[in-house]
Amino acid sequence: MVTASGDSTARIWDTATGALVGPSLVHQATVLTVGYSPDGERIVTTSDDLMVQIWDAATGYLLTALKHNSRVTSATFSSDGAWIVTATGDGGLRWDDTLRLWDISTGKQLPLSLEYPGRVVSAALSPDGKRVITLNQDRTARIWNAVTGKALAQPLDQGGVTSVAFSPSASWS
């Protein structure tokens, strides 16, 4: 398992023994979120240093660093591990948040950015990479077309959404 910490590190642990495995994954500020790629070979971390970093899970080697202009509230791998979707609080007077898709092999942002008012708490990509679901600070979920950036439905709210994820078998026609 991997943990995020206020001491600017993420750490990998052996769940059977409780022992640390490999070196700490170091940022310049508090590590906010962590996650594994679907194949378990990479780890993504976000930090108050405005960086999203991708690490080799076996060696702790830093593979890619993605610089943002504001705090990243969520970073999640696509089901094939080729992309990462990030949600950031781009700040300013409007406090708009932006979702960005990143190509892991190049570290480049893909052309699509989805923007709407409100703070994004979490985001996830559908298994086929064609949809993005977001959780907004107003506790509603929204589903977007990842290719066009268009909303696919009205905001989803059943008493205040607190988390979002796609089923591994999710599909659309």
- CATH topology (fold) of 1-67: Thrombin, subunit H (2.40.10)
Least confident of 5-14, 60-69, 88-97, 115-124: 88-97
Where residue 93 falls among pLDDT bands split at 50, 70, 90? very low
pTM attached to this predicted model = 0.82
Cβ-contact 50, 64 below 8 angstroms: no
From residue 24, how far is each of 13, 95, 155, 173 by CA, in Å?
A: 10, 33, 39, 43
Domain at 70-173: CATH code: 2.120.10.30
Structural domain boundaries in the chain: 1-67, 70-173
Q: Could you report the per-residue pLDDT of 140-154, keeping only the tens digit for each?
A: 888 888 877 788 888
Q: Could you report the per-residue pLDDT of 65-84, keeping only the tens digit for each?
A: 998 888 888 898 988 898 89
CA distance 85 to 7: 25
- pLDDT over 50 (residue 164): yes
- pLDDT over 90 (residue 10): yes
